Amino acid sequence: MRKDLRWKAILVLALTALCAWAVIPPSKKIRLGLDLKGGIHLALRVETNDAIKSVLDTRASGLMAELKKRSLGTNGVRPDLMTASIVVENFDRVARDEFIKVIESDLPGYKVGEEGNNLRVTLPQLEVDRIREDAVVDTLERIRSRVDAFGVAEYQVQRQGLKSDRILIQIPGVDDPSRVKDLVAKPAFLEFKKVVTPPSLAGARYPGAESREQVVQQFGGQLPADVEVFETDPNSFGGHASFYPLTIGSPVSGNDLITARTGRGELGSAEVQFTLTPDAGGRFEKFTGDNIGQPLAALLDKKIIQIANIQNTIRENGRIVGIGSLQEADDLALKLRSGALPAGTTVLEERTVGPSLGADSIRQGVFSALAGLVCCIGFMLFYYKGAGINAVLALLLNVLMLLGMMSYLGATMTLPGIAGVILTFGMALDANILVFERIREEIRNGKTVRSAIDAGFGKVFWTLFDTHLTTVVAAVLLFQFGTGPVKGFALTLVIGLAASMFTAIFVSRLIFELHLGEGKRVEKLSI
C-alpha cells in the first residue's frame, strides 16, 4: 500500500473511533431539546418602565432629602413615569435660584423647567435608553443565575432580537413547571418601608384598611407626596388582604444583599435569613435607629409580607418570616441570592411539553430517520451496485461524524435537528451521485477506470463546494436570527454539510483507491 494511502486510512479509522467514542452511548452523550425531553418554554417581556420608576423613586427621595437639608420649602417631590421626570410641587418661588442650584448639583445633566408653581426635572433621553437596556441585560443575566442555581441542565435563556425587551427561556426535563415559572419570572425585589400613620389615627398602631380609597380618605382625600399605598400578600397574612400607607423610599433593597439562606424560626417555622452589604447595613442602622418604636414593613415584589415594630437598631443581619413552606423559603433565598430582577416581567407565551410527548417525538423522529436512511441505502445499492457500497460506507461515517461532533460541542438535538439529520442524508448522497455520474460519463468517453475516478472527483469538487457553501450560508443565517428549534436545525445542517464534504470527497475516493489496489490494471468498475 502506498504511504499516502496508509496515512489516509489511519486518519479515517482514527476519526471513526473518536466519533464513536464521543457518541456511544447516545442516551447519555446526546443532549435532547425541549421538544424531545419535555419541559417548559417561556417567552417573557421585561417591563422596563419598572426600572425607570425605580430610578425616579430613588432620585426623588434623594432630592427631597437634599431640599429638606437646605430648608427649601415645597409640598413634596414626586416621580412622573409618563414623562420620565421628577416634579417638585409648589416650590418657594422666592428661593427659585437656590432650588435650581440644588437640583443641578444633585441631578447633573437633567433638564429643569418651570410649570406654574412646580419644577419639572426630566431625565435625559440617553439615560432613559440606558436604563431600559440595562434592565433587559441585567434581567437576562439574573434569570440565568437563578436557573443555574436551580440545578437544571441543557437550558436556554436568550434575548429575542438585538434590542428587544423579550427573553426566551427553554428548560428541558422539568418536573414542576409552575415552580420554575415562579422562580424565573418573579422579580424577588425586597424592600423595607416605614408605615405612615394618618394624622387622624396618630398614637395608635395602624390596623390597615380594606381598600386603597379608604387609606386616601384617612389622609383627608390627598396622600402626601412621599407616601404610596401598598397591599399585603394574603399568603403572609392569613388569607386576608389589607392596605397600608408606606413611604415611597426604601433605605435598602434586595440588591443590597450579600447572601440569603433558609433557616428555622420560632416553633420550627421556615424563614429566610439575610446579610446586607456594609454600606447598606450602615444606612439600615441609621434608619432603624431614627425610627425605634415605629412600624416597619417588609415588601417582596411590592407586596407586604411582614409588618413589625422596630425594637432596636438593625445593621447587617435580618430575617424574613411568615413565608410558608420550607420549599418556598428555599426558592425565595435562591432568588434573593441571585439578585432581584431590576424590572418586572410579563409572560407572553407559556408552553409545557410533557415527557410522554417528548418520548413519542423521539420514536417518530428516529423512525423517520431510519426509514430515510434505509431508503437511501437501498437506492444506492440498487442503482450503483458495487459503488453503492462505497456511498453507504461514506454515508454511515457521515452520520457518525455528525452525532460525534454534536456530542463534542454539547449541541442540543431537537425535532427540527432530526429533520436536519435526514436532510443531511440527502445532501451526502447527492454529492456521491454527482461524483458517480461524472465517473460514468468519463468511462463512456473511453477513459480508463483510474483516470475516470480521478476526473470524476477532480471536476466535481468545485460544484460540490459551491452547493455546500451556499447551503451553509443559509444555515448560518437561520442560526443567527432563529429561535431554539430553528437553531437546532441550522446547527445540525452545518455540521452535516461539513461531514458530507469530507466523506464524499476524501473518504469515498480513499475507498475507491483501496479497492483498485496499487499497480493493477482495472478494466471494469461496478458503478
Mean pLDDT value of segment 175-204: 78
Cis upstream peptide for 251 (omega within 30°) = no
The CATH number given to whatever domain includes residue 108 is 3.30.1240
pLDDT band at 62 (very low <50, low <70, confident <90, very high): confident
Residue 307 lies in a domain: yes
Question: How many angstroms separate the CA atoms of 397 and 174, rounded?
Answer: 34
The answer on 21 and 101 residing in a single domain is no
The answer on 280 and 361 residing in a single domain is no
The answer on 478 and 336 residing in a single domain is no
Q: Which residues of 398-408 are buried (b: 16+ CB within 10 A; e: fewer)?
A: bbbbbbbbbbe
Pairing mode of beta strands 190-194, 295-300: antiparallel
Mean pLDDT value of segment 356-382: 77
Residue 434 lies in a domain: yes
Q: All 3 cell numbers of residue 225?
A: 407626596
Residue 156 lies in a domain: no
Closest by CA position to 472, among listed 423, 415, 437: 423
Between 516 and 282, where is the model more confident?
282
Show which of 331, 350, 369 is a domain's final residue.
Answer: 350
Mean pLDDT of the chain: 82
Predicted structure pTM score: 0.60
Residue 147 · residue 184 · CB < 8 Å: yes
Helix (H, G, I), strand (E, B) or coil at 102: helix
Residue 142 lies in a domain: no
The answer on 30 and 85 residing in a single domain is no
Q: Which residue shows C-alpha cell 440565568?
A: 144
Q: All 3 cell numbers of residue 103?
A: 437640583
Q: All 3 cell numbers of residue 309?
A: 415594630
Q: All 3 cell numbers of residue 246?
A: 408606606
Helix (H, G, I), strand (E, B) or coil at 381: helix
Between 319 and 399, where is the model more confident?
399
The answer on 409 and 396 residing in a single domain is yes
Q: Which residue shows C-alpha cell 380609597?
A: 213
Residue 356 is predicted with a pLDDT of 58
pLDDT tens-digit readout, 222-244: 888 788 899 998 877 777 789 99
Residue 93 lies in a domain: yes
Show which of 315, 350, 385 is a domain's final residue.
Answer: 350
Sign of the torsion angle spanned by Cα atoms 301, 304, 309, 311: negative
The answer on 196 and 322 residing in a single domain is yes
| DSSP assignment string, 169-220 | EEEES-S-HHHHHHHHH----EEEEEB---GGGTTS----BSSHHHHHHHTT
If one counts the domains in the chain, the total is 3
Strand partners, 260: 274
Residue 175 is predicted with a pLDDT of 64
Show which of 334, 350, 366 is a domain's final residue.
Answer: 350
The answer on 420 and 308 residing in a single domain is no
The answer on 262 and 320 residing in a single domain is yes
Residue 346 is predicted with a pLDDT of 86
The answer on 494 and 460 residing in a single domain is yes
The CATH number given to whatever domain includes residue 214 is 3.30.1360.200
Helix (H, G, I), strand (E, B) or coil at 382: helix
Residue 2 is predicted with a pLDDT of 67
pLDDT tens-digit readout, 131-159: 999 889 888 888 888 777 666 656 778 88
Residue 158 lies in a domain: no
Helix (H, G, I), strand (E, B) or coil at 467: helix
pLDDT band at 246 (very low <50, low <70, confident <90, very high): very high
Residue 131 lies in a domain: no
- Residues 99-103: contacts with CB within 8 Å, 24+ apart? 99/67, 99/72, 99/74, 102/63, 102/66, 102/67, 102/70, 102/72, 103/63
CB atoms near residue 271 (< 10 Å):
21
Residue 42 lies in a domain: no
The answer on 319 and 413 residing in a single domain is no
Residue 83 · residue 122 · CB < 8 Å: yes
pLDDT tens-digit readout, 438-469: 888 888 887 887 888 888 888 888 888 888 88
The CATH number given to whatever domain includes residue 485 is 1.20.1640.10
The answer on 312 and 366 residing in a single domain is no
CB atoms near residue 97 (< 10 Å):
8
Domain boundaries, position 321: 186-350
Mean pLDDT value of segment 463-476: 87
Closest by CA position to 490, among listed 420, 424, 432, 426: 420
The answer on 456 and 323 residing in a single domain is no
| DSSP assignment string, 222-255 | ---TTEEEEEEPGGGTTT---EEEEES--S-BGG
**For 193, phi and psi rounded to 5 degrees?**
-135, 145
